[in-house]
Amino acid sequence: MRLTNTAMLIKICTLLAFAFISACQSSTSEYPDYEVVVEYSLPAELNETSGLYCPDADSIYSINDSGNDPVIYQLNQRGEIMHQRRLQKNQDWESITGDEQFFYVGDIGNNKGKRSSVDIQVVDKSSASEKVVRTLKVSYDGNDPDKNEYLKHDFDGEALVSVGAKLVLFSKSWKTQVARIYELNKSDKKQRVTPVKLLGGLPGVITGVDYDSRHKHFIVVGYNIVGFGNFSPFMALLDEDYSVLSSWLLPGFNQVEGVCVDPQGDVWISQESSVFSTHKLAKLRLH
């Protein structure tokens, strides 16, 4: 989203102010549903972090969204970049997930609603190649790009997770605030999908998801836009049938975009830089 010159100046001043804050801040914040264990400022390369994936105890993977280079960043658990893997192209990356063999990068952003299909890039974890193994081209049943209006439709997406043999995609439903949940095949290069469930009752749109195999539930994050540069983020737990178990707001955070659960059961979230906040990584412990 392009900012005006005034807004950009405000954002630059805000980021400069944050530069004087320590890169790591231990937190004393504790709430009924969770505790913020620690927060880390992310490197400048990840100022538009838009997805998280944490498959092991040592690594967290993240990507940036539209307008940025097609790079998968491997981080340690202090938010420092350990490795970068550049792919050949992207349009609007919004999510990253994986299984034992592959990364699945969700090129699924569609704020304007003008994409007739979106892509999921399948990347071999064991190869250093820039080439994508295959691209899954996904079209939504009922999507009419000619009728969609900017931020006023239900065919945007930012949340994708691998669960067993399938991928689960959650829509970012600007128009109705009712998320459409799609189950995708990991192999079919062309898929036309219909929702397996419609999910309402959350306090905003969904921007990230992961699956907690220990507790057999989904963790989603998202936000409600409350004003220019101001977001009211939330977290929610869903059961395996995609029904809401609980949800709560995340005070002290702003444009939360990514979420993942590490092997120890801790939850990580990432926040994109916006006018009144900076890009950061935080570890949460749920109660």
Q: What is the pLDDT of residue 114?
A: 98
- The b/e string for 8-37 (b: 16+ C-beta within 10 A; e otherwise) is eebbeebbeeeeeeeeeeeeeeeeeebebb
Task: With CA atoms as reference, report the closest residue to 33 among 220, 287, 237.
Answer: 287
% of the chain residues with pLDDT over 90: 86
The Cα 264–Cα 88 span in angstroms is: 33
Task: With CA atoms as reference, report the closest residue to 63 among 74, 77, 76.
Answer: 74
Mean pLDDT score, 78-105: 97
List 25's β-bridge partners, or say none. Answer: 39
Q: What is the pLDDT of residue 80?
A: 98
Mean pLDDT score, 76-102: 97
The per-residue DSSP string of 99-149 comes to -SSEEEEEE---TTS--S-EEEEEEETT---SS-SEEEEEEETT--TTT--
Is pLDDT above 70 for 13? Answer: no
DSSP-derived secondary structure letter, 30: B
Residue 119 or residue 20, greater confidence: 119
> What CATH number did the domain enclosing 176 receive?
2.120.10
Is pLDDT above 90 for 8? Answer: no
The Cα 276–Cα 287 span in angstroms is: 29
Q: What is the pLDDT of residue 198?
A: 98
**pTM for the structure as a whole:** 0.91
Q: What is the pLDDT of residue 188?
A: 97
Q: What is the pLDDT of residue 139?
A: 98
Q: What is the pLDDT of residue 71?
A: 97
% of the chain residues with pLDDT over 70: 90
List the single range of 5-19, 20-34, 91-105, 189-203 with lowest mean pLDDT: 5-19
Mean pLDDT score, 121-136: 94
Q: What is the pLDDT of residue 3?
A: 41
Q: What is the pLDDT of residue 25?
A: 53
Q: What is the pLDDT of residue 22?
A: 39
Burial of residue 4 (CB within 10 Å: 0-12, 13-18, 19+) is exposed
Q: Contact, 123 vs 105, CB < 8 A?
A: yes
CA 240 to chain CA mean position, Å: 20
Burial of residue 266 (CB within 10 Å: 0-12, 13-18, 19+) is middle
Write out the E strands in 125-227: 134-140, 156-163, 166-172, 179-185, 190-193, 197-199, 205-212, 217-227
CA 188 to chain CA mean position, Å: 23
Q: What is the pLDDT of residue 128?
A: 87
Q: What is the pLDDT of residue 4?
A: 45
- Please give the mean pLDDT across all residues of the chain: 92
The Cα 135–Cα 144 span in angstroms is: 22
As for how many domains the chain has, the answer is 1
Range of the domain at 223: 5-286
Is pLDDT above 80 for 131? Answer: yes
List 180's β-bridge partners, or say none. Answer: 198
Is pLDDT above 90 for 18? Answer: no
Q: What is the pLDDT of residues 243-270, one digit of tens each?
A: 999 999 999 999 999 999 999 999 999 9
Q: Contact, 141 vs 180, CB < 8 A?
A: no
Q: What is the pLDDT of residue 228?
A: 86
Residue 27 or residue 222, greater confidence: 222
Which residues neighbour 104 within 8 Å (Cβ) at sequence distance 6 or greater? 96, 97, 98, 120, 121, 122, 123, 160, 162, 167, 186
Handedness of CA 284, 266, 196, 51 (dihedral sign): positive
DSSP-derived secondary structure letter, 239: -
Is pLDDT above 90 for 183? Answer: yes
Q: Contact, 51 vs 93, CB < 8 A?
A: yes
Mean pLDDT score, 108-117: 98
Burial of residue 57 (CB within 10 Å: 0-12, 13-18, 19+) is exposed
Summary count for the chain: helices (H), strands (E) = 1, 22
